[in-house]
Amino acid sequence: MQPLYDALRDMIPSEKLMNYIEKGIIQIAPLAFMRGRTLDNAFVILDEGQNTTHSQMKMFLTRMGKNAKFLLTGDPGQIDLPRRTISGLKEALLILKDIKGVGIIHLDEKDVIRHKLVKKIISAYKNIENRN
């Protein structure tokens, strides 16, 4: 979960962030701790969604309560699941694509805001993958 803390520290001064976490305004929890919850009046982010299974993704998406917005992030090209395990994110992209109220945004190397070499690295890998 360190990348989430790092991103939050980039956006919120450390003292304020700790205050938000202590007050429960911001909660960071592993996916396993979502079961049984209903998240009302919340903005919820699932990071690294490509590594969820079908069951995990379904459980996560069905936690949505009143006035909640859910954001899923993930890179279908970087799945770390065991072979023959379908990515919950890849499956959700297919299942939810025609549901009103669900938006899907695809990013590519042009959207990278890391080191300028990262764009070139992504393009180089994409070229090799396209050849194969």
CATH code, domain carrying 31 = 3.40.50.300
Residue 20's pLDDT band, with cuts at 50, 70 and 90, is very high
Comparing 109 with 120, the larger pLDDT belongs to 120
In which domain, by residue range, is 93 found? 2-101
Query: Residue 88 falls within a domain, yes or no?
Result: yes
Q: Which residues contact 82 (CB under 8 A, 6 or more apart)?
A: none
List beta partners, residue 64.
Answer: 39
Residue 77's pLDDT band, with cuts at 50, 70 and 90, is confident
CA distances from 41 to 3, 19, 56, 60, 75 (A): 24, 19, 22, 16, 27
Total count of domains within the chain: 1
> Would you state the pLDDT for residue 57?
97
112 SS3 class = coil
> Would you state the pLDDT for residue 112?
86
Mean pLDDT on 108-114: 86
Query: Residue 23 falls within a domain, yes or no?
Result: yes
Comparing 51 with 109, the larger pLDDT belongs to 51
Query: Residue 95 falls within a domain, yes or no?
Result: yes
CA distances from 52 to 12, 35, 130 (A): 28, 14, 26
